[in-house]
Structure 1
Amino acid sequence: MNKKVKKNLLEYGITGTIILTLFLTGLHTEVFGFVQRGVLKTGLMNPDVEAKSNPKEQAKKPKADFNMSLINSKGERVEMEEFRGKVIFFNMWATWCPPCVAEMPGINNMYNDVKGEEVAFIMLSLDNEFQKAIDFNKRKGYDFEVYKLAGNLPQMYASQAIPTTYIIDADGNLALTHQGMGDYDTQEFKEFLDGLK
């Protein structure tokens, strides 16, 4: 075997070992999430709130379905109906989803800026084991509550992509749907939420 072939085999072996180690330890989600956070900062993935603020678009908003039961991290049952009358930031995510992990720091920052009586957050984990989501939230030091479904997901929230975020205005209308990761920690988005109260 010549030196070039040996060198290539060694490089592929090391690269393969690193990739395998990342996947076996679960660190690949963190690494890909870190890279995707950089992409988020470019603004290319931001939700299109400008178009949704248009009066013609607002007239087309469908009514949100509040028929959803949840379980929070303390094991308490919560009905989505309890949030009616508030602006709702509803995000479907999972710990194994790098784009979800990428947008979490921004969501937490935004949560701390707008939380209160008028805005509710439903961070719905799609993990098979809810404890993973609870542990992830604690480990990262995020301040928002995490939930799992306690029944069926209403059809209007069925999405082929995660993360998917739905914004429901205080009148109970579905004001925005954003599939894929987004940077919600922007002044524009906070003003958009404020306008839905």
Structure 2
Amino acid sequence: MANKNLKKYISNGVFILVIAVLLFVPSAKALLIQGLMEVGLFNPSIEKEKPLNNPTLQLSFKDQAGKTITLNELKGKVVFINFWATWCPPCLAEMPSINKLYEKYKSNSDVVFLLIDADSNFEKSLAYMKARSYALPVYQMNSSVPEQLFAGSLPTTIVFDKQGRLSFKHEGAANYNSKKFVEFIGQLRDSTN
């Protein structure tokens, strides 16, 4: 009887430990979310976005070398922007899928990726990218962002078409390497209007 109770206590302790790890260790939570992405959950919903009330082409971004680029300068290209942070488990969970999408389009000059470090800590974000062998381009905002684009929820991903129109916005983790999303980016890239 004592042996049966001991097994029960051990199994309960292990269960509580697993729950605690998932709650308090960001990389463990990210790993769980990644697993759920692999089975088909967290696919982004691709719907036509409503036009913005004010022009957003004034957005400015800065890379770690201090070089700035504006959204206006990227007109004529599809622009994939992801707001993320190294402490954010859903951000970390979707990063492998963003990296795979980036690998598919990195040699295509008509598609640009901007990963916006919400912490404004280049050292930390670049160390994260380097540790995982990601070549994703990390930027910081160099201007204010309209709330209709980014209201502070991490991760947030937005995509602009070649004319600078908002074509996609998603808050929360998603698998950006899904067949449907890869095709969506390809359609925007090949679009002439």
TM class by shorter chain equals: 0.7 to 0.9
Q: What's the TM-score once normalised by structure 2's chain length?
A: 0.80
Cα deviation for residue 193 of structure 1 reads: 1.0
Q: Who is 1:133 aligned against?
A: 125
Q: Who is 1:106 aligned against?
A: 97
Residue correspondences, number = 183
Q: Who is 1:88 aligned against?
A: 79
Cα deviation for residue 188 of structure 1 reads: 1.4
Is contact 2:120-2:140 (8 Å) kept? no
2 CA distance for matches of 1:119 and 1:19?
41
2 CA distance for matches of 1:33 and 1:170?
32
Partner SS state of residue 195, structure 1: helix
Cα deviation for residue 114 of structure 1 reads: 1.7
2 CA distance for matches of 1:75 and 1:82?
16
Is contact 2:71-2:164 (8 Å) kept? no
Cα deviation for residue 71 of structure 1 reads: 1.6
2 CA distance for matches of 1:12 and 1:128?
39
Amino acid at match of 2:176: Y
Partner SS state of residue 155, structure 1: coil
Amino acid at match of 2:132: K
Cα deviation for residue 31 of structure 1 reads: 1.2
Is contact 2:150-2:156 (8 Å) kept? no
Gaps of 5+ in 2: none
2 CA distance for matches of 1:177 and 1:64?
16
Q: What's the TM-score once normalised by structure 1's chain length?
A: 0.79
Gaps of 5+ in 1: none
2 CA distance for matches of 1:41 and 1:12?
29
Runs of 4+ off more than 3 Å? 2-5, 60-64
Cα deviation for residue 85 of structure 1 reads: 1.3
Partner SS state of residue 124, structure 1: strand
Cα deviation for residue 172 of structure 1 reads: 1.2
Q: Who is 2:143 aligned against?
A: 151
User: Is 1:29 matched with 2:13?
Assistant: no
Is contact 1:66-1:80 (8 Å) kept? yes
Higher helix fraction (1 or 2): 1
Cα deviation for residue 130 of structure 1 reads: 2.8
Percentage of identical aligned residues: 33
Is contact 1:84-1:172 (8 Å) kept? yes
Q: Who is 1:44 aligned against?
A: 41
Partner SS state of residue 175, structure 1: strand
Cα deviation for residue 12 of structure 1 reads: 5.7
